[in-house]
Chain A
Amino acid sequence: MKKMTSALALIAATAAAPVLAEDITITVWAGGSNDSDHYRIDNIRIAADMLSREAAIRGEELNITVEGKRDFDGWDGFKQAVTLGAEAGNAPNIVVTSHLDIAPWASAGYIVPVEDYVDLDAWPLNNIYGNLMEIATFDGMQWGVPQDAESRPFFYWKETFAALGYSEADMDAMSARVEAGEYTLRDMLADAKKAVDMGLVEKGYGFYPRVSNGPDYAQFYQSFGGELTDTETGKLLFDRTAMTEMYQFFVDAVDAGVTRRNHIGTEWDQWYSEVANGKAAFWHGGTWHYGRYTGKEGNEDFFGTVGFTLIPAGNDAGRANTVTHPLVYLLTDQKDDRVEEIAAQLVAIASEPRLNALHAIKSSHLAIGKAEAGLDLYSGDRWAAEATEVLLPHANAQPNHPSYGAFSEAMFKGLEAAWTGVQTPEEAVAEVEAQLTATLGDELIVR
Chain B
Amino acid sequence: MNTKGNWMLILALSLISAPLVIMYGFQLIDSVSRPAPGGIIPQEWELTNWRFLWTSIDSARPSIWRVTFNTFVFASATALLVCAFSITAAYALSRLNFPARRFFLAGLIMLHAFPTITLIIAIFIVLQFLGLYDSLMGVILVKAALELPFGIWIMKGFYDSVPWEIEMAGVQDGASRFRVWRELILPQVKPGLSALLIFSFLAGWSEFILPLVLAPGADAQVLATYMNAVIADDTRPDYGLFKAIGMFYALPVIAVYLLFQKRLMNIYGGGTKG
Chain A contact residues, CB within 8 Å of chain B:
33-36, 38, 68-74, 77, 80-81, 84-85, 87-88, 90, 267-269, 292, 296
Contact = CB atoms under 8 A, between A and B. Distances in A.
B258 interface: no
B216 interface: yes
Contacts of B232: 73-74, 77
Given A87-B128, A90-B134, A77 B216 contact: yes
A80 B209 CA distance: 12
Interface in B190-241: 212-214, 216-218, 225, 228-229, 232-237
Please name the 10 residue pairs, one residue from A and one from B, whose CB atoms are nearest each other, closest first: A269-B237, A81-B216, A268-B234, A88-B133, A71-B60, A74-B232, A70-B60, A71-B61, A34-B235, A88-B128
A81 to B, nearest CB: 3
A74 B61 CA distance: 14
A73 B212 contact: yes
A33 B233 CA distance: 9
B236 A34 contact: yes
B59 interface: yes
A267 B133 contact: no
- Among B59, B234, B236: residue with most chain A CB under 10 A: B234
Nearest to B121: A84
B207 to A, nearest CB: 14
Contact of B217 (A81, A268, A269): A81
Contacts of A71: 58, 60-62, 218, 229, 233
B153 interface: no
B158 interface: no
A85 B216 contact: yes
A84 B121 CA distance: 9
A74 B133 CA distance: 20
B18 to A, nearest CB: 24
Contacts of A68: 60
A84 B132 CA distance: 12
Given A72-B229, A73-B225, A73-B228, A292 B60 contact: no
Contacts of A292: 235
Residue among A33, A68, A71, A87 with most chain B CB within 10 A: A71
Contact of A34 (B124, B212, B218, B233): B233
Nearest to A292: B235
27 contacts: A34-B233, A34-B235, A35-B58, A35-B60, A35-B235, A35-B236, A69-B217, A69-B218, A70-B60, A71-B60, A71-B62, A71-B218, A71-B229, A71-B233, A72-B229, A77-B216, A77-B229, A80-B213, A81-B216, A81-B217, A84-B124, A84-B128, A85-B134, A88-B133, A88-B134, A268-B234, A268-B237
Q: Does more than half of chain B's interface fall in helix, strand or loop, or is it mixed? A: loop
Interface of B: 58-62, 124, 128, 133-134, 212-214, 216-218, 225, 228-229, 232-237
Contacts of B212: 73, 77, 80
Contacts of B237: 267-269
Nearest to B221: A71
B60 A84 contact: no
A293 to B, nearest CB: 12
Contacts of B216: 72-73, 77, 80-81, 84-85
B133 A34 contact: no
A351 B22 CA distance: 52
Interface centre among B60, B124, B228, B229 (most CB of A within 10 A): B60
Contacts of A72: 216, 229
A34 B57 CA distance: 11
Contacts of A88: 128, 133-134
Given A69-B218, A81-B216, 17 more contacts: A34-B58, A34-B233, A35-B59, A69-B217, A71-B218, A71-B229, A71-B233, A73-B212, A73-B229, A73-B232, A74-B232, A77-B229, A80-B212, A81-B217, A88-B133, A269-B234, A269-B237
Contacts of A267: 237
A14 B160 CA distance: 71
A85 B61 CA distance: 19
Given A71-B58, A72-B229, A296 B235 contact: yes
Contacts of A81: 216-217
A126 B233 CA distance: 35
A268 B134 CA distance: 31
A116 to B, nearest CB: 27
B66 to A, nearest CB: 12
A218 to B, nearest CB: 21
A75 to B, nearest CB: 9
B140 to A, nearest CB: 17
B193 to A, nearest CB: 35
A268 B229 CA distance: 15
